[in-house]
Amino acid sequence: MPSLSEETGGRVPALAPGATIGIVGGGQLGRMMALSAKYMGFHVGTLDPTEDCPTAQVADFQIVADYDDTAAIRELAERSDVLTYEFENVDADALDAVRDRVAIPQGTDLLRVTQNRVAEKTFINDHGISTAPWAPVNSRAELDAALGRIGYPAVLKTAEGGYDGHGQIVLRDASDLEQVWPDEDFPPAILEGFVDFAYEASILVSGNGEDHVTFPVVRNIHCDNILHKTIMPAPMDDGMQERARELAVALAKGFALAGTLAIELFVCADGTLIVNELAPRPHNSGHYTIEACDFDQYDLHVRGICGWPLAQPRTLTPAAVMVNVLGQHVAPTREAIAGHPEWHVHDYGKAEAKRDRKMGHITVLTDDAERTVAELDATGCWADITDRG
């Protein structure tokens, strides 16, 4: 394996250009990781069931197989010097089984913790960081008891496998209990107090096992639980930015983080920061970093897992707005491109533009985020988005 230096302290052993990075998952996050890896001179392989998937289009090779195909994971491990993943629902046992064949600098603890809401909330609270009040619940009786402590409104979430609001039931009052699973189908779950937040935000932190650097806190606007827009910076003062940075670094240190971790936050009107959830990978809300920062979240993910030194990323613009292009936005945004030379247009190369499927995104660098948001809205391309934050 081409190596830059021997392992030092907690730092991941450094890999030289020419080494091969294997990415489990072949979606847009893997594609943007691969683009960073390629400019640094790494080879890239990806494992994904869809032939010519977004990552494969920019990688050196693809293994076409299901994510949980252990023989395929072994093949990817054998053809790679370092293994990473672009989504969190990877089989941690399957990765552990190939650790004698390939470096997995992110480890599998990070995966196991972020795959399970009970483990995740416990980890966050153990590091002195606030979450919504919560309790594990595995039956209707446990739910009733937890509701007695936490009260309405609350959110019931499956402990595993949920994403973008799937596997969640909002309980506003006792009448919503009708939607709750019967005991025989009750999955391991958690009950969370409903947070009356002012807005949602996120912060990214990247590490190389030893050093940890952060990106600015950004504001996120969702519609139907899918990210619609990210605005950098979030409307918070330097003191709150610093508190967010401190909590991000505390979590990163707890994981001896290598690569990029996203932390989703609820920001309350009184300035309280509450962690909602973690994603052990680059994140949709960090796409803006590609144009707005000197090192983006993908560069730092690749550098981190390859044991390279990390500089604190700098923003190159006073503000930036990133807006997702879902299936229903492809046709109108393509028509609008001609009139918007300021748009940084990203298209993930997906074959089929299904409704609500993330097909691409657009980033605009600006000195006035509010004006840019108004201009984007005025194009009418996102006319179906009802929640404008």
CB of 248 to ligand AMP, least distance (A): 17
Instruction: Look up residue 82 and give its DSSP letter.
Output: E
Among 38, 79, 97, 162, binds ligand AMP (CB under 6 A): 162
Task: Tell me, residue by residue from 218 to 257, as one string, x for binding to ligand AMP by CB under 6 A and - for no binding.
Answer: ----x--x--------------------------------
192 marked as part of a ligand binding site? yes
Q: Which of 165, 188, 309, 318 binds ligand AMP (CB under 6 A)?
A: 165
Q: Is the distance from CB of 265 to CB of 244 less than 8 angstroms?
A: yes
Q: Using CB under 6 A, count the residues that bind ligand AMP.
A: 13
Min separation Cβ 56 and ligand AMP, Å:
28
Fill in the amino acid letter for 225.
Answer: N
Nearest to 367 by CA among 167, 230, 232: 232
List the Cα angle 286/289/293 in 5-degree steps.
Answer: 150
CA distances in angstroms from 18 to 37, 106, 367, listed in the order given:
10, 20, 39
DSSP alpha helices (H): ranges in the chain? 28-39, 70-79, 92-96, 109-115, 117-126, 140-150, 238-255, 289-292, 297-305, 330-336, 369-378
Q: Interface residues for ligand AMP in 187-206 (CB under 6 A)?
A: 192, 194-195, 200
Closest CA to 154 of 184, 176, 186: 176
Q: Give the nearer residue to ligand AMP in terms of CB position, either 55 or 220.
A: 220
Are 32 and 298 in contact, with CB atoms under 8 Å apart? yes
Q: Is 307 annotated as a binding residue?
A: no
Q: Are 229 and 221 in contact (CB under 8 A)?
A: yes
- Between 58 and 169, name the residue whose CB sits nearer to ligand AMP: 169
Q: Is 168 annotated as a binding residue?
A: yes
Q: To the nearest whole angstrom, how small is the minimum distance from the Cβ of residue 340 to ligand AMP?
A: 28
Binding status of residue 14 toward ligand AMP by CB under 6 A: no
166 annotated as belonging to a binding site for a ligand = yes
Min CB(195)–ligand AMP separation in Å:
4
List residues near ligand AMP by CB under 6 A: 132, 155, 162, 165, 192, 194-195, 200, 222, 225, 264, 276-277
